[in-house]
Amino acid sequence: MSDLPENLKYATSHEWALWQENGTVRVGITDFAQQQLGDLVFINLPEQGRKVAAGEQCAVVESVKTASDLHSPVTGEIVAVNESLQDEPEQINDSPYDAWIFTVKPSAAAELAALMDATAYQEMVGQ
C-alpha cells in the first residue's frame, strides 16, 4: 500500500471517510480493501434516505473472488450514493480514494473524530 491520504479518517472495517464542507461525510473503501477483494464486478448501494448507525452494514461490494459488506463509519442518514458505480464498479479498483460509494449526513460529528488517522490505519494493516 502506498501513501494514504492524510485528510481522510479510516474505520477498522476498511472504509475511508472524508468530512465535506457541507457537513456530510463521503465514504469509500481503502486501497488495502480493494486490493484484498480483487477486481470489483458489482456494488449493492445503500438506499438514499436510509438511517444508519456507526458500524452498521449498509452496502455490499462483490469481486471476482468474494463479496464483502460495507459499513457506515458514522451514525446518520444516507443522503447520496454514487450511481456511476452501478455500471463501472472498477472505478474503485482504479482509484479507491476518488471513487466514493455513499455520503452520510452525520448525527454525531464526534464519531468521525474517533476514527483512525492514516498512520494508525497503516499500522493496523501492517504496512
- Whichever domain contains 48, its CATH number is 2.40.50.100
3-state secondary structure of 106: strand
pLDDT-flagged residues of the chain (< 70): 1-2, 127
Global pTM reads 0.94
Report the relative pairing of strands 51-52 and 67-71 from DSSP bridges.
Answer: unpaired
pLDDT tens digits, 24-52:
999 999 999 999 999 999 999 999 999 99
Residue 1's pLDDT is 46
1 lies in some domain: no
Residue 2's pLDDT is 57
First to last CA, the chain: 7
Proportion of the chain above pLDDT 90, given as a percent: 93
Cell numbers for 101, please give them: 460509494
108 lies in some domain: yes
Range of the domain at 63: 9-121
Total of domains in the chain: 1
Cell numbers for 32, please give them: 488495502
Instruction: Find residue 77's DSSP bridge partners.
Output: 51, 105
Residue 3's pLDDT is 77
Strands (E), 4-56: 9-10, 15-19, 25-29, 40-44, 51-52
